[in-house]
Amino acid sequence: MIKLFSHKKTEKLISECAGYIEEASVRYGVPASMIRAILYREMTEIDLVDVLADLAVYLAPGLVKKDSSTGYAQIYGYVGLNALNLAVDRGLTTYEEHGIRSDHRLDPKAPADVRKIWLLLSRDRKENIAFAAMNLLSCALEMTGGTDFNACTEEELCLILTRYNANVRHVTKYGEDAFRYMQHYQAAAGEPWPEDMDANA
């Protein structure tokens, strides 16, 4: 299947989103290099099947598909909703800051709530990137019991990146690849590696 984004195009788009990435990194405490790694890994795999899946969700919600992974960071509506609720619970954001009006706590089992998040993820790349950071925060909490990325070992970072893509408890090729991309972006940005953080603080 033909991919929609080449390496060059992906890097260009990630570069264009630098401000959004840095903002999400600071806001949610997720390394910018990790956000970039996820964006690169996901965007370079987007193909026509993904486009058709999004189209089915948009035009006929519930008839063929109720949800799909969408946007640059390829996030499902229900996944984004759960990540948002976690960030809200931790006092990191509010529904209103994402333009979401709701008189109740959003429910991943409620189709209307999931669709509300899916539409936001599919239409707004700034929000899509913010939700990617929130989802990585959720993955870190689930896989390591904490959200201090600087204290994570390489294996734990690989587990976090793996969990972004799959509900498993072991490192997959996806996690290994994303970790290599993360290292690349760290080197390119001159970000210190975790063991150097204290020395450079």
What residues does each domain of the chain span?
A: 7-200
Q: What is the pTM of this model?
A: 0.92
Decide: 27 and 93 in contact? Cβ < 8 Å.
yes
pLDDT tens readout for residues 73-128: 999 999 999 999 999 999 999 999 999 999 999 999 999 999 999 999 999 999 99
pLDDT tens readout for residues 22-77: 999 999 999 999 999 999 999 999 999 999 999 999 998 877 788 999 999 999 99
